[in-house]
Each structure stands twice: as C-alpha cells, then as structure tokens.
Structure 1
Amino acid sequence: MNKYLAAAIIPAIAGMSGAAYAADLPSRMAPSSPPPVFTQAPIYSWTGFYAGINAGGGFGNLGRGASSFGKANGALIGGTVGYNYQINQFVVGLEGDIGWSGFNASNTLPGPIFMRGTMNSLATLRGRAGMTFDRALVYATAGYAGGNVRSTVIDTTIPAGFSNNGWRNGWVVGGGIEYAVTPRISVKGEYLYTQIGNDNNSVISTSNAGYRGSIIRTGLNYRF
C-alpha cells in the first residue's frame, strides 16, 4: 500500500516543483506598448503688433448737400499698422491706416454751374473689438477718419469760380472678419461707413466739402 501511495505522491510533487520553477523564469512575451499620448494643438493667440497692406473701393457722395458733386466711386490702397490684445476669446486693439484714394465726382446744375470734387487720400484710426474662433476673428470697429478733398465750382451766371483744397476730418464705423492663414500671416475683409468733412450743408460752397459713403476692402497683415 505504501508503495502505491509513494508512486502517486512523488510525480505530483515533481509537477508542482516544475510549475514553480517555470513561474520564476523570465517571460519571453514582448512587453505591452504604452498607450498613445495625445497632445492638444496650441490655441492661436492674436496678441501682438502687426503691419500690412489694404486695398478695395468705395461708393458714396462728394460735396455739400445741394452742391453735391455727384456719385463718387473709386479705388483705394494703403498701409496698415496695429496692435491686438487677447483675453480668453475676446480681442481688443487699435488699428491705423493711410493711403491713396481715387474718389472723383462731377455734376452740372442749371445756369450752368459746373462742380467737381476729388478725395485723393484716406486715413483712419480706429478701435477694434471682437471674438475669436481659434484662427478666425470677427470684429467691430469705429473711430476717426480723415482725407484730403479738393473741390471746384464754376458759376457761369455770375460769372465766378471757387476752389478749395484741404484735409477734412470725420468718423468711421464698420466691421469685418480676419483669418490667420499661418502663425504670422492673416487676411481680412471689412466694411466701413464713413463721413469726412461736411456733405450735408445746403449752401452751395466748396468750403469743407466732404465725402459720405461706404468702403469695402481686403487686407494682408504680418504679425511680429
């Protein structure tokens, strides 16, 4: 009986020892790879100085009310400088621009009275405020506008001629969208409504003749 019991116990002990020895051996299985790490792309910041160019066109009126020189349509091109400061999704800033404009208008009244006006430059200094959607900025803008206006009236009934040439001051309001194509370069499109000088006086005169109308333009800016 003891022989049979020993024959059964010895193999069992040998099997347990082999299993324990195998557990102590280093595993030949390749270690599992670590889970992938996802990093969030950096949020675009609009804070900083920038400079660029702008170009577009306008349509409105030149003159002084009853002495309107007529519809003034023309092109414009100029340079832009500015600074933005971003707070969370909100951006505030200051932007200025100056350039050439080719706004011309002419009119003839009974008499005849010949009238002609030209605005050959445009400048603005505006505050901007808007909201960002990462690389897109939607903004409103308002501030100062000015331009050089030249006007001439020739009245053949007197006869007499009048001319005036000078810088006119006014205001501007509008809005636009700007998009950052790269971390340094952005493009924009904007609409502005402006009144420069005084085109709502009924007196037929060349003094302080101005422009009232709309401006649509695009721009390309570089950020420092």
Structure 2
Amino acid sequence: MRKLYLAATALTAAVASQAWAQDTVAPDNADPQSTTPYYGTPAVPQPAYPDSSATQDAPVVAQDTTTAQPVNYQPIPLAPNPNEVANHSGIKFRGLRVEGDIGWTRSSSNHVSGRNNMGYGGTLGVDAVVDNFFVFGVEGNYWNPSKMWENNAGSNMNVGSQGNNIGTTAGGGYSARKAFEEWDATLRMGFLATKDLLFYMAGGYASGKQRNLYLNSAGVATGKYVGWSNGYSVGGGIEYSITQNFFMNAQYRWTQFGNHTSRARATLGFGFRFP
C-alpha cells in the first residue's frame, strides 16, 4: 500500500512539472537543445491593439517651420488693345477717302506773276499702309479758281489793260492768258509721325483749261484760243485724323503747264474716310 501511494505521488509531481514548463516563456538566449526546464515568468498574452506607450515611443518626424519664399514669376504680357494696334498700324489712313478743299491760288504766265485769288476743289483717293509707318496712295484732284478778288479779274488781267499776264506780240499787240479749272492725277507717299499725324508728298500728271486772248496795240481783242494744257503737279502737306473717319489737312501744290503757265495754291482740306 505504501508503494502504491509513493508511485501515485511521483506521477502527480511529474504531470504538474510538465504543465508548469508549458506555461512559461523561455528567454531569447535559452538553449533550444537544453533539456533543463526553465521555470521563468508565465507567458502573458499580448493585447490586440498597441497601448499608449507604444504610440509615445514612435519616432517623431521633424516638421519644416521655415517660411515659404514667394516664387519670382515673370508677368505675362497682356494682349494689346485691338484699337491701339489698329491706330498705330495706320488704320485711320487706309482705304477710300473724299475731301473738299479751299484756299489761296495764283497763276503766272510767261514768267509774269498773276494776281492773288481764292479757289475751291475736291479730292478722291485711296491709301494703303506699309510696315505700320508708311502710307502710299493714289488720288484725283479738282481745282477751280474763283473771281472773288482783284475786281473780279481773278489771277488774270482785265481786257484792254497792260497788267499782269500780258505778253507783247508782233506789231505791238498783246497776249493775255487766263487759267481756269485744273485736274490732277497724283501719287501720294507719307510717313506716320504718330498714329494720328501724317506727313506726305505728292506728285503726278496735271491738265488745265486755259484761254489765250490776243489784242492789238489799241487793246482791241483780235482773237481768242481756249484749250487744255498738260503738265505736272508736285507738293506736300500734313494730314491729321480728327476721329476714326474724319480728317483735315493742309498742303501746298505747284503746277507747271508746259513752259508758259504755272499755278501755286495753298489749301485746307476737310474729308471723310470710309471704314
């Protein structure tokens, strides 16, 4: 009976020691081949989520607290105003134009200056702009001296007198020449000093109606010839755009008909340019 009791006690101790060994955790440096049981700290189950201590022990990422410097962006140029471009490119001096002219005029014959007079006329032309600064055009002009001054004699003599524009003929007679209307076809070239101001020159063909009156030594008319005399006209002026369509100009013209008659005129013109 005593032996049975001792055997039961030994078996119970062996089973208890085996269970205790399974509930303990061996240290990292424990020898896996060792047969010696380790009676250490019982294994403690780990929580499903890390506690606050694990969060506090996490490495802290440094933050850049320096002030951001502004980027030096280059400004993008704005698109130019279409009206300004149009003005600078000479849109005011492009296209069909019509104008009326009035001013001073004086004709000369056989190198003898006539009398001062007033005149009136008109111009029809068309212009084009090249390289935004140069204006080229063609135009037709009409000019007619009136009889407002010098005893209604215009730029010529009174019949029967020996005033201006009289040339002596054979036999002691006289020849008086009188200039009437004039038609010109000219080219115009100019430079845009500003978007509204044009300096220009003009020149071309001219044809004028004239009358040649022959008188004897007593001043009695013995014959008359009326016809057209051809020549050239040159001049220049300045033109200013008042608005997009209305303009004004001032110019001087010199016309030479053959080798016998010439005309000078200084005029003011007011006109309209079609859009």
TM-score (ref. length: structure 1):
0.68
| Cα distance, 1:54–1:160 mapped onto 2, change above 3 Å | closer
Cα displacement string for residues 57-83 of structure 1 (whole angstroms, at most 9, x for unaligned residues): 222412x45xx5x52432211121000
Residue in 2 aligned with 1:76?
119
Residue in 1 aligned with 2:45?
none
Residue in 1 aligned with 2:39?
none
Residue in 2 aligned with 1:54?
101
Identity, % of aligned positions: 26
Residue in 1 aligned with 2:29?
none
Specify which of 227, 230, 233 is matched with residue 172 of structure 1.
233
For 1:51, give the aligned amino acid: V
| Cα distance, 1:122–1:39 mapped onto 2, change above 3 Å | same
Specify which of 91, 102, 109 is matched with residue 135 of structure 2.
91
Structure 2 residues without counterparts, runs of 5 or longer = 1-77, 147-153
Confirm or deny: 8 A CA contact 1:104 1:117 kept in the other structure: no
Which secondary structure does the structure 1 equivalent of 2:269 belong to?
strand
Residue in 1 aligned with 2:155?
104
Residue in 2 aligned with 1:23?
none
Counterpart mapping for 1:145-164 below 5 A: 145-156=206-217, 161-164=222-225
How far residue 56 of structure 1 moved from its aligned partner, in angstroms, is 1.1
Measure, in 2, the Cα distance between the counterparts of 1:188 and 1:98. 16
Counterpart mapping for 1:195-214 below 5 A: 195-199=256-260, 211-214=261-264
Measure, in 1, the Cα distance between the counterparts of 2:105 and 2:258. 16
Residue 215 in structure 1 maps to residue 272 in structure 2? no
How far residue 100 of structure 1 moved from its aligned partner, in angstroms, is 2.1
Aligned residues: 173
Confirm or deny: 8 A CA contact 2:107 2:155 kept in the other structure: no
TM-score (ref. length: structure 2):
0.57
Which secondary structure does the structure 2 equivalent of 1:49 belong to?
strand
Confirm or deny: 8 A CA contact 2:233 2:255 kept in the other structure: yes
CA RMSD of aligned residues (A): 2.6
Which secondary structure does the structure 1 equivalent of 2:259 belong to?
coil
Measure, in 2, the Cα distance between the counterparts of 1:197 and 1:149. 12
Residue 130 in structure 1 maps to residue 190 in structure 2? yes
Cα displacement string for residues 1-36 of structure 1 (whole angstroms, at most 9, x for unaligned residues): xxxxxxxxxxxxxxxxxxxxxxxxxxxxxxxxxxxx
How far residue 113 of structure 1 moved from its aligned partner, in angstroms, is 3.3
Higher relative contact order (Cα pairs below 8 Å, separated by 6+ residues): 1
How far residue 124 of structure 1 moved from its aligned partner, in angstroms, is 1.1
Structure 1 residues without counterparts, runs of 5 or longer = 1-36, 200-210
Greater radius of gyration (CA): 2
How far residue 197 of structure 1 moved from its aligned partner, in angstroms, is 3.7
